[in-house]
Amino acid sequence: MAQRPYIVGNWKMHGTRAMLSEARAIDRAAQRLMKVEVAIAPPYTLIHPAHREADQISVGAQDCHHADGGAHTGDISAAMIADAGAKFVILGHSERRQGHSETDATVKAKAEAALEAGLRVIMCCGESADTRKSGNAAAFVENQLRGSLPETIDSASERLTVAYEPIWAIGTGDTATPRDIGDMHAAIRALLVELYGEEEGREIRIIYGGSVKPDNAGEIFAVAEVGGALVGGASLTADSFMSIALAAAETVDA
Ligand code: 13P
């Protein structure tokens, strides 16, 4: 892996304050693994307390609203999560696109708002099982990213990460094959170079998500153009999450 691997835990709708001990354990372990950039995205309610516990890892959110503020009951703006200590936000996750009817345009507006608020963005993309079966996965993902990514981003390689998460691999125990991951990441790389130019586009990290576990992480990180992982279930305990981070560290040249 050429760049410093980025290992991000998406806690989804899991965790009360009792989980802060796990965040502390992740942070302590990350201090001994400086070759890897480790981050967690807990539920909104834990962003501030987790940020206060963290010396090494960064803490982020799983979504934000596109507006700065106003009459949006139940929503949270990018500035609010930044104020709570978030350094990044995951946007366009398939669970948001499907469960909350988020369109590419909504996701793009959120990304613009997040960048404006000084947050880094992890932009998710990924095809359904039917789309993969029909042979259109790469075209689908390319279209989704064209519609979801802002046209211009200052210092894109610093502020943007793309997460490829095939929907059928999320929470199922099925992972894409190394070959399929490699092909998709190469297609995403070509698009990023087209959108943001050779220099920035080559450096933007592309991470993989979908049933990443300690026992398959090494194989996934060995794939060209995989710059880390977005981990769901296996990020809920420090033990399994940091085993994945360790597998990433082992791919970095000493
Ligand atoms: P799992 O690792 O539980 O499959 O979840 C992946 C994911 O959706 C991370 O955003």
The pLDDT tens digits for 75-131 are 999 999 999 999 999 999 999 999 999 999 999 999 999 999 999 999 999 999 999
In this structure, what is the dihedral angle of CA atoms 195, 201, 204, 205, given to the nearest 10 degrees? Answer: 100
The string of pLDDT tens digits covering residues 173-205 is: 998 999 999 999 999 999 999 999 999 999 999
The mean per-residue pLDDT over the stretch 17-22 comes to 97
* pLDDT tens per residue across span 44-57: 999 999 999 999 99
Name the active-site residue from 112, 127, 165, 225.
165
Q: What is the structure's pLDDT at 3? A: 73
Q: Whose CA is nearest to atom 1 of ligand 1?
A: 232
Query: Taking Cα atoms as reference points, which of 46, 40, 121 lies closest to residue 88?
Result: 121
Which residues have CB under 6 Å of ligand 1?
10, 93, 165, 170-171, 209-212, 230-234
Mean pLDDT of 61-80: 98
Cα separation, 157 vs 202, in Å, equals: 8
Closest ligand 1 atom, residue 212 Cα: 2
* pTM listed for this prediction: 0.97
Report how far ligand 1's centroid is from the alpha carbon of 164 (Å): 11
Q: Which of 51, 65, 66, 93 is catalytic?
A: 93
165 is catalytic: yes
